[in-house]
């Protein structure tokens, strides 16, 4: 019940900020689009986010040019604090209130909680300019805040993370220097998943022969996605009911992502998205032929 309440709360935040969205359920629960696309997983405890879920959301995010987010209220050990970002498997985690502030200001918070404490990213150019305007050498500034000259040199050379306490000491002398975080500060490892069944392997091979770049997706309502403007959903013959049940979710997500949905099946199946039997796919000569079939739907 609490998780469902969090999903509803997140959707109301998106609605207030003029995002179009659809529910999904899988490695992410909500897909949302405004000026950018977000894939959002909602969990009470963000530590329950699994490696498989992270792999699935990484693959889909890469394919549809989206940013993944994890919404929650606690870890195993503590409550999440507002206006601080956490991280699980390379995905930024935050409270619903932080999400609201993020959408309102159109920027991520500046404070990141990682093992070892709180961190912020310091603006290298601002640091150097502010130090020189105060007539301080790198060595003198380092002495005043209790770190080495090498630390100051490194922070002036590149934008990098520093401990929250260190940055606050620097800012007492030089003024505001911290930078809001960006999505590319979070590095997801997109591990290529392998086909689980001979059917998935065959469909993947057929699609590649037609010129499509296809990835296997874990923990989602579809199990393949194309890098082009075509989403592939393949279902096992023995689970047609599940395939038909998933089709509306896939259709909604495909429309939001600007892709086409397609079901590849072992045998004829009626569903709310275009579908082809695998034997029909195998007879196709090129990608244009397949796209024409999807567009006719």
Both structure tokens of 48: 């329950």
Q: What is the pLDDT of residues 158-185, one digit of tens each?
A: 888 999 999 999 999 999 998 889 998 8
What the block records as the tokens of 280 is 């029909």
Do 153 and 74 share a structural domain? no
Query: Residue 175: helix, strand or coil by DSSP?
Result: coil
Domains identified in the chain, total number: 3
Question: Is 51 a member of any domain?
Answer: yes
Q: Is residue 191 part of a domain?
A: no
**Domain for residue 289, yes or no?**
yes
Domain boundary among 77, 109, 141: 109
Specify if 117 maps to a domain. no
Average pLDDT over residues 51-74: 94
When pLDDT is cut at 50, 70 and 90, the band that residue 277 belongs to is confident
Do 210 and 270 have their domain in common? yes
- Phi then psi for 188, rounded to 5 degrees? -95, 140
CA distances from 271 to 217, 242, 252 (A): 21, 11, 14
* pLDDT tens per residue, range 104-162: 998 899 999 988 899 999 999 999 999 999 999 999 999 999 999 999 999 999 888 99
Q: Which of 109, 140, 160 is the last residue of a domain?
A: 109
Q: Are residues 103 and 143 in the same domain?
A: no
User: pLDDT band at residue 286, thresholds of 50, 70 and 90?
Assistant: confident
Residues 43 and 94 in one domain: yes
The first and second tokens of residue 243, run together, are 């395939």
Non-local (6+) Cβ contacts of 163 within 8 A are 116, 117, 118, 119
Query: Is residue 39 within 8 Å of residue 66, measured between CB atoms?
Result: yes
- pLDDT value for 235: 62
For 273, the domain range is 198-296
224 contacts 203 by C-beta, under 8 angstroms:
yes
Q: Which of 54, 74, 109 is the last residue of a domain?
A: 109
Is the per-residue pLDDT at 33 higher than 80? yes
Calculated CA dihedral for residues 164, 70, 107, 77, nearest 10 degrees: -20
Distance between CA atoms of 293 and 206, rounded to whole angstroms? Answer: 16
Query: Are β-strands 260-265 and 86-88 bridged in parallel, bridged antiparallel, or unpaired?
Result: unpaired
pLDDT in tens, 209-250: 988 888 998 888 888 898 776 677 766 544 566 777 888 889
- In this structure, the answer to whether residues 159 and 256 fall within a common structural domain is no
CATH of the domain at 32: 3.40.1350.10
In Å, what is the CA distance from 203 to each residue of 5, 207, 215, 233?
Answer: 39, 6, 11, 10
How far is C-alpha 20 from the chain's CA centre? 17
- Identify whether 188 is part of a domain: no
151 and 237 fall within a common domain: no
Residue with tokens 């498997």: 89
Structure confidence by residue, pLDDT tens digits, 1-32: 799 999 999 999 999 999 999 999 889 999 99
Residue 22 sits in the same domain as residue 89 = yes
Position with higher pLDDT, 77 vs 295: 77
Please check whether residues 207 and 168 belong to one and the same domain.
no
pLDDT tens digits, residue range 85-111?
Answer: 999 999 999 999 999 999 999 889 999
At residue 190, the pLDDT reads 64
Indicate if 88 and 62 belong to the same structural domain: yes
CATH number at residue 133: 1.10.260.40
């Amino acid at each position: 019940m609490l998780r469902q309440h969090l999903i509803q709360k997140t959707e109301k935040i998106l609605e207030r900020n003029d995002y179009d969205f659809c529910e999904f359920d899988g490695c992410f629960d909500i897909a949302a689009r405004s000026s950018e696309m977000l894939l959002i997983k909602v969990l009470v405890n963000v530590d329950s986010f699994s490696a498989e879920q992270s792999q699935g959301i990484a693959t889909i995010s890469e394919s549809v040019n989206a940013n993944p987010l994890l919404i929650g209220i606690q870890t195993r050990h503590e409550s999440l604090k507002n206006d601080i970002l956490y991280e699980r498997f390379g995905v930024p985690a935050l409270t619903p209130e932080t999400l609201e502030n993020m959408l309102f200001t159109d920027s991520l918070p500046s404070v990141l909680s990682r093992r070892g404490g709180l961190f912020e990213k310091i603006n290298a150019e601002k640091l150097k300019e502010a130090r020189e305007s105060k007539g301080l050498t790198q060595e003198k500034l380092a002495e005043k805040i209790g770190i080495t000259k090498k630390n100051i040199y490194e922070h002036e050379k590149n934008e990098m993370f520093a401990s929250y306490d260190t940055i606050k000491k620097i800012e007492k002398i030089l003024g505001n220097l911290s930078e809001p975080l960006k999505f590319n500060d979070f590095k997801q490892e997109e591990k290529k998943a392998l086909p689980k069944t001979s059917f998935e392997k065959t469909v993947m091979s057929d699609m590649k022969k037609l010129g499509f770049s296809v990835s296997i997706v874990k923990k989602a309502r579809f199990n393949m996605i194309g890098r082009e403007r075509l989403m592939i959903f393949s279902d096992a013959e023995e689970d047609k009911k599940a395939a038909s049940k998933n089709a509306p979710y896939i259709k909604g997500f495909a429309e939001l992502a600007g892709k086409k949905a397609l079901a590849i099946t072992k045998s004829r199946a009626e569903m709310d998205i275009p579908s082809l039997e695998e034997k029909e796919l195998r007879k196709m000569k090129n990608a244009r032929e397949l796209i024409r079939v999807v567009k006719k739907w």
